[in-house]
């Protein structure tokens, strides 16, 4: 289901492993989307009482994925609007 994160719940502990070791688990658009989804799923789940974030293969998170940022900027330069956050 997820490509860039590995979520699991055991004994009330929700663990999310950032899983893009070639990029040292840099936070890109796809990973951020997956994080948003799992956190929304767990938001009111009584089985998840604590969250733990880890990184795969010895890296936690090297920051933002510049490649992902460049793609968004290039799309904007071509006339495509940047995604906007909507109020719920």
pLDDT in tens, 7-31: 999 999 999 999 999 999 999 989 9
Residue 7: other Cβ atoms inside 10 A: 20
> Distance between CA 41 and CA 64 in Å, rounded?
24
Single pTM value for the model: 0.77
Cα-based distances in Å from 73 to 25, 60, 67, 80: 21, 26, 10, 9
pLDDT of residue 8: 98
In degrees, rounded to 5, the angle at the alpha carbon of residue 19 between the alpha carbons of residues 51 and 52 is 10
Torsion of CA 71, 68, 23, 52, to 10 degrees: -170
Please list the pLDDT of the chain residue by residue as tens digits (88 residues): 899 999 999 999 999 999 999 999 999 989 999 999 999 999 999 999 999 999 999 999 998 888 877 776 777 777 766 666 666 5
């Amino acid at each position: 289901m997820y490509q860039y994160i590995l979520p699991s719940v055991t004994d009330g502990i929700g663990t999310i492993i950032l899983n893009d070791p070639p990029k040292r688990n840099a936070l890109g658009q796809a990973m951020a989307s997956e994080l948003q989804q799992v956190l929304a799923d767990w938001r009111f789940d009584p089985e998840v009482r604590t969250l733990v974030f880890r990184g795969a293969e010895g890296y936690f998170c090297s920051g933002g994925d510049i490649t992902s940022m460049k793609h968004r900027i290039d799309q904007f330069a071509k006339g495509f609007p940047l995604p906007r956050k909507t109020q719920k």
